[in-house]
Amino acid sequence: MRTTRRRYWVFVLLFLFNAIAYVDRVNMSVAGKPIAHDFGLSPVALGYLFSSFLWAYVLMMLPGGRLIDRWGTHVVASAAAAVWSVAQMLTGAASGFAVMLATRLGLGVGEAPFAPVTYGSVRAWSPYRERGTAIAAISAGSSLGLALGAPLVAWLIEAVSWRWSFVITGAVGLVWVVIWLSFVSTPEKTRWLPEAERRLILAERDAGVPPPAHGGVGYLGLVRSSTMWGLFLSQGCLVYTVYLYMSWLPNYLQTARHLSLVGSGVFTSIPFFVASVVNIVANWCGDRMLSADAVRRGMRRYLVGLCLLLTAVGVLIPLVHSLIAVIVLVTIAVSFANVGPAANGALVSDLLRSPADTGRAFAFLVLGGNTFGLLAPIVTGYLVAWTGSFNSAFVAAGVLALIGAAAAFGLARGTIGETARIGAIQARLAD
């Protein structure tokens, strides 16, 4: 008998979770110019402000993963969204650079667990054969949050003020918290989930591999895994590109291409809107092409490597002059920089053996992404200040993407979260 798909409602809420998080992030990018004007900030100071939430985000990433393993994704999601939404609203009341920096750090604390929550929820709620598509569809909320949020925030700034734009976007997150708390728990405990669908999820979410009896390898075991480091590096090189364009594309379009505030918001939205569609289609194709055996062997790494190669086309931006050509190249780079992290998240699920390590493995992955992401706005600010243009920033991101491709192809092999004894036994059985 055909099972229902009520689990998709959880994915819809996670989609909104991602969209709200990224609207709250892009708010600062779009409001950067009027904020810099009001507070008299230089490009370097603005770069620090753009990246400030990532400092706390990175610092709290590993503790957030530990909290997910202890309390579950459904509990951490609501607490995290409440914290970051309040911080977002307080940004609108900031009286100067120091106070605004503090509120952005609060946003980072709240948003730290959001990506591990997304990946962990998909692992808990989806059969392996729809894992990549589910993560991509949910992650499309991030790029759609940027695509729709940039012009929306630009309109709010012009209609009311940059201060009220932070208050309004923050309030939306608090509404989401109420809805999530009212409806979502785990597949095992959610009452509105039909029994047949519950059995399907529990039977197929581990791709036919029984979880090991041990209680996980912890962060120390993950740090010893070369596979985990390959995922860490490839994720970092992908997310660097995402944050470069998310943070600086509106400013680049306003200063180098002389677009208006609203015009820069519209043209910023195009690459991220396209990325939302490409993300889902590419990861859906990945799911369709991978058998259960291919999933267990980590063959999804080839999709990740291909995404990094396509992300590297950003190095060509300094060679073109028309606005249309720039947007086309940015769209390609942004699209596959968004496909890659979703595929990487699914790849961690493919290779992870102990559910007890779920939160920590995803936190370690996202830590890689956001360690690099933290640097992108700052490095770009310095490069723009030193060279007087954005060309070197685009080239740097492209070179990093090529390094990430080498890491994906060369290091992201083998399983994650097995003890040395269990891994040795399985290796002997394979021989």
Per-residue pLDDT tens over the stretch 154-186 = 899 988 988 999 999 999 999 999 999 999 888
Candidates 399, 7, 52, 424; CA nearest to 186 is 7
pTM above 0.85, yes or no: no
From residue 246, how far is each of 54, 214, 269, 380 by CA, in Å?
A: 13, 41, 10, 12
What pLDDT, on the 0 to 100 scale, is given for residue 172?
94
Residue 349 main-chain phi, psi, to 5 deg:
-60, -40
Averaged pLDDT for residues 238-249 = 87
Provide the mean pLDDT of the chain: 84
Shortest CA distance to 125 belongs to which of 288, 287, 10? 10
Can you say how many angstroms the Cα of residue 224 is from the centroid of all Cα atoms in its chain?
24
Residues 137 and 15 sit within 8 Å (Cβ to Cβ): yes
Question: pLDDT tens digit string along 8-36?
Answer: 899 999 999 999 998 988 888 888 888 88
What confidence score (pLDDT) does residue 14 get?
93
Is pLDDT of 1 > 50?
no
Residue 321 reports pLDDT greater than 80: yes
Mention every residue, 6+ apart, whose C-beta is less than 8 A from residue 268: 29, 30, 146, 150, 245, 249, 250, 253
Q: What is the DSSP string of 150-167?
A: HHHHHHHHHHT-HHHHHH
Q: Per the CATH hierarchy, to which homologous superfamily does domain 8-430 belong?
A: MFS general substrate transporter like domains (1.20.1250.20)
Long-range Cβ contact pairs of 321-330 (< 8 A, separation 24 or more): 323/257, 323/267, 326/257, 327/267, 327/270, 327/271, 330/245, 330/249, 330/271
Length, in residues, of the chain: 431
Angstrom distance (rounded) from CA 92 to CA 107:
12
3-state secondary structure of 416: strand
Q: Which pLDDT band holds residue 422 (cuts at 50, 70, 90)?
A: very low
Q: What percent of the chain has pLDDT over 70?
A: 93
pLDDT value at residue 209: 60
